[in-house]
Amino acid sequence: MNFQNPVFIPGPTNMPEVIRQACSMPTIDHRSPVFGKILHPCLEGVRRVLKSATAQIFIFPSTGTGGWETALTNTLSVGDRVLAARNGMFSHRWIDMCQRHGLQVQIVETAWGEGISAARYEEILRADTGHKIKVVLATHNETATGVLSDIAAVRRAMDAAGHPAMLFVDGVSSIGSVDFRMDDWGVDVAVTGSQKGFMLPAGLAIVGFSTKAMKAVETAGLPRTFFDVRDMAKGYAANAFPYTPPVGLMNGLKTALEMLEAEGLENVFARHHRIAEGVRRAVDAWGLRLCAVSPEVYSNTVSAICTPEGFNATDIVTVAARDYDMAFGVGLGEVAGKLFRIGHLGSLTDAMMLSGLGVAEMVMVDLGLDIKLGSGVAAAQAYYRHGAKAERVAA
């Protein structure tokens, strides 16, 4: 195993050296004002990344999955109805979690590769005249298929139907890498984790609750202890957690937020778009296609690339790791073996991406695919040339 190469999995992402150093710190008293100097900038920084003026931010020692559980158990009761689209492995898992908590999920089956249909949501919400549906779930960026859904459109659908349900958004692989507008989109709970856009190791569930979601906390019947946001809020008021916080990770998050804001969020989003577009040009030059069905749903954080019929796409990931010490993502669930994924979020540059495309090409040629060495790299180079610096605006 060679640790020099960047990883191209869609999380955990590459860690900048300054973040690694920030995570490595001496023990401090985690119930002291010293911890408050780490905690409060984290809460405020996350709120700015979510583009919310009023959301309450909670950070748990957990992962994105714990963020889903925080969202559900703090706001809902057994038997409550939720509406969710299933268009990949992550939306599938969130639905599964709802069902295991005794929620009734109205599932909108959606082809893997397509985004959430706001029109279908609207139709269902209009038909729900008794307002039985309590929450609408939306996976912003379906990491399994490289599909970005339009959350603003989901909000418009809810409003058009005049439906009072809350909107919960899984932004685990979008927040901090692509635009996310909690207030503008009327998101009631936003969920993310530490190991994707925030460039940290796994270990933090990061959530934002709207005022409406905080109100639902008071009546929610699902049991919760570890993930109870009321206990967490009490802890924060005393510069603490209800239990022991992962201080090093929190210090890393503080640094990550400073890095994102120093670059400028809009620049971060533009960089993700540029890197992703280079990958898409490469895929096109290889004669392959994305799982994502159309440009409106192309993800700027992960590309899921379909391989020809009869070829096992997972071999690309296996050989890249074995022969080139480079990590790409496998296909999950329904698309296992049919596609491989290039993660391109977090701490990445054009130059790093070219190395990933170069290795992907070598592997595909090694495995006998009809691809010309250098073709994808050249397409990406043509796109990246002069791009990075020229595009940047003052942070």
Ligand X SMILES: *Cc1c(COP(=O)(O)O)cnc(C)c1O
Q: Which residues bind ligand X (CB under 6 A)?
A: 11, 63-65, 90, 139, 141, 143, 170, 172-173, 193, 202
Cβ 93 to ligand X, closest distance in Å?
7
Cβ 114 to ligand X, closest distance in Å?
16
Q: Which is nearer to ligand X, 161 or 172 (CB)?
A: 172
Cβ 344 to ligand X, closest distance in Å?
13
Could you tell me which of 335, 247, 207, 336 has the C-alpha nearest to residue 37?
A: 247
Q: What is the rounded distance in angstroms from the CA atom of residue 254 to the CA atom of residue 258?
A: 6
Cβ 193 to ligand X, closest distance in Å?
4
Cβ 143 to ligand X, closest distance in Å?
3
Q: Which is nearer to ligand X, 45 or 64 (CB)?
A: 64
Are 221 and 41 in contact, with CB atoms under 8 Å apart?
Answer: no
Q: Which is nearer to ligand X, 52 or 143 (CB)?
A: 143
Cβ 45 to ligand X, closest distance in Å?
19
- Closest residue to bound ligand X by CB: 64
Cβ 237 to ligand X, closest distance in Å?
27
Q: How far is CA 229 from CA 190, 192, 202, in A?
A: 14, 15, 20
Q: What is the rounded distance in angstroms from the CA atom of residue 54 to the CA atom of residue 43?
A: 12
Q: What is the rounded distance in angstroms from the CA atom of residue 142 to the CA atom of residue 318?
A: 23
Q: What is the rounded distance in angstroms from the CA atom of residue 316 to the CA atom of residue 194?
A: 27
Longest dimension (CA), the chain: 62
Q: Which is nearer to ligand X, 149 or 239 (CB)?
A: 149
Q: Which is nearer to ligand X, 90 or 383 (CB)?
A: 90
| Residues pairing with 178 in the sheet | 175
Q: Which is nearer to ligand X, 117 or 141 (CB)?
A: 141
Q: Which is nearer to ligand X, 206 or 354 (CB)?
A: 206
Specify the DSSP element, H or E, that contains 54.
Answer: none
Q: What is the rounded distance in angstroms from the CA atom of residue 349 to the CA atom of residue 342?
A: 14
Q: What is the rounded distance in angstroms from the CA atom of residue 151 to the CA atom of residue 167?
A: 9
Could you tell me which of 337, 342, 335, 325 has the C-alpha nearest to residue 380?
A: 342
Q: What is the rounded distance in angstroms from the CA atom of residue 235 to the CA atom of residue 227?
A: 12
